[in-house]
Amino acid sequence: MLPCFSKKIFGIDCPGCGIQRSVALIFQGEFVAAFKMYPAIYSLLLLLGFLLADNFYKIKFSNKIIITLTSTTVFLILTNYILKFF
């Protein structure tokens, strides 16, 4: 795993800390543990999958779906980051 440079330099987690371990847990089939490690992982994967599919196929209301998925992902990332401090 790649080390988190902001954690090494500043001593605090960054908003992306845990994403590598979460992806590794998904590949191992531990889906609940992946969610506990990084709660935004599933919305992030869904967003990336939708963006990839949108490049190949024209999807109706794709802009609204992308905005919703992006907002959900950012909300989960920020909420998880804030809760790490408590």
Is residue 14 a contact partner of residue 4, using CB atoms and an 8 Å limit? yes
Give the predicted TM-score (pTM) of the model: 0.85
Determine the pLDDT at residue 2.
85
Is the residue at 48 inside a domain? yes
Determine the pLDDT at residue 4.
86
Determine the pLDDT at residue 6.
87
pLDDT tens, residue by residue, 1-42: 888 888 889 988 889 989 999 999 999 999 999 999 999 999
Mean pLDDT for the stretch of residues 45-49: 96
Is the residue at 18 inside a domain? yes
- Amino acid at position 33, single letter: A
- Please give the mean pLDDT across all residues of the chain: 93
- In total, how many domains does the chain have? 1
Determine the pLDDT at residue 12.
86
Domain that holds residue 74: 14-83
DSSP sequence for the chain: ----HHHHHHSS--TTTTHHHHHHHHHTT-HHHHHHH-TTHHHHHHHHHHHHHHHHS--TTHHHHHHHHHHHHHHHHHHHHHHTT-
